[in-house]
Amino acid sequence: MEDFRSLPVINLLFADAQIVVARRSRARRSSGGEAQPRDRRLFPPTDPTPAMLRYVTTNAGKVREARDYLDDGSVSQLDFDYTEIQAPELEPIAARGAREAYRHAGEPVLVDDAGLFIDALDDFPGPYSSYVEGTLGVERVGRLARDADEADRPARAAFRCVLAYCDGDSFDASPDPIDRGDRAAAAAAGHEDDADAATLPVKLFEGVVRGRIVEPRGDGGFGYDPIFEHEGTTFAEMTAAEKNAVSHRGRALAKFAEWYATR
Ligand code: IMP
């Protein structure tokens, strides 16, 4: 299989993607809960607000799933416009986003970066899934995947989710999350302001689920859910609980919840 960047339509998109440093829409501070910020933080907030786990995304679907999963009333959405660097992996994007979101919010943040990795397209759209959803669209991505695969074989794919946690505290961070391209990608994108990357620890949690790309089915979920089938059912045909039980996000949240319970 040739590299997906050599496919004509992908090549065009990719060229565009190089110059697009995607930014999340409108920054907004959310209101908080009861607990006070931790005093162990390396970077205490200048404007302290009640400590609550901020799920950093503009995607309401992600927050619904996180709330259903964690189900403790302590998660709120932070619709923050963090810089989404261009990188071939989700980890550095999420790690850098978490540092930036923490610097903004001054309280515990969880950044969720996810993507659809299609085998027949050499893992495209991967970290560019959001951009591609907004340009090609979900149905065309599905058609591309099915056309690129052998006619009598379902197109295989994986959903991946990386959660990046940062609370300004010192803890045993994931091994070198910044060495996985974070600094290089930030520098390449002209964002060299991540000076405290080495001292602001980030913990990463990954979840992966494999499935196949099919004709769109179902009304639930969001994004690529209608074309992603797992064991005979598309994510869009599942309830939130059913999806969380098997999904990339559910798996990442399970790892996070287990670790967070010890904080
Ligand atoms: P981001 O992580 O918000 O950048 O999302 C990347 C892309 O993947 C967007 O197009 C989302 O709609 C899509 N996406 C992320 N998570 C899911 C999911 O659980 N189901 C379907 N699409 C998703």
Q: What integer pLDDT is reported at residue 115 of this predicted model?
A: 96
Catalytic residue among 79, 113, 194, 225: 113
Q: Tell me yes or no: is domain 4-260 CATH 1.10.10.60.
A: no
Which atom of ligand 1 is found nearest the CA of 161? 16
pLDDT digits (tens, 9 = 90+) for 135-173: 999 999 999 998 887 665 679 999 999 999 999 887 777
Provide, rounded to the nearest whole percent, the portion of the chain with pLDDT above 70: 69
Note whether 58 and 24 are within 8 A (CB). Answer: yes
Ligand 1 atom with minimal separation from the 235 CA: 20
Q: Bridge-partner residues for 117, per DSSP?
A: 125, 158
Q: How many CB atoms lie within 10 A of CB 31?
A: 8
Active site residue 113: yes
Binding pocket residue ranges, ligand 1, CB within 6 Å = 57, 59, 113-115, 129-130, 133, 221-225, 235, 247, 249
HSE at residue 110, side-chain half, CA atoms within 13 A, is 29
Three-state DSSP class for residue 203:
strand
At 28-45, the pLDDT tens digits run 223 333 334 444 444 444
CB atoms within 10 A of CB 114: 24
* pLDDT band for position 226 (cuts 50, 70, 90): very high
Single out the residue of 253, 91, 115 nearest to residue 174, CA to CA: 91
20 or 105, higher pLDDT: 105
Q: Whose CA is nearest to atom 11 of ligand 1?
A: 223
Q: What is the DSSP string of 239-250?
A: -HHHHHHHSHHH
* pLDDT given for residue 62 in this prediction: 87
Lowest mean pLDDT among 85-99, 103-117, 144-158, 238-252: 144-158
State the average pLDDT for the chain.
76
pTM of the model: 0.76
Ordered by start, the domain boundaries in the chain are 4-260
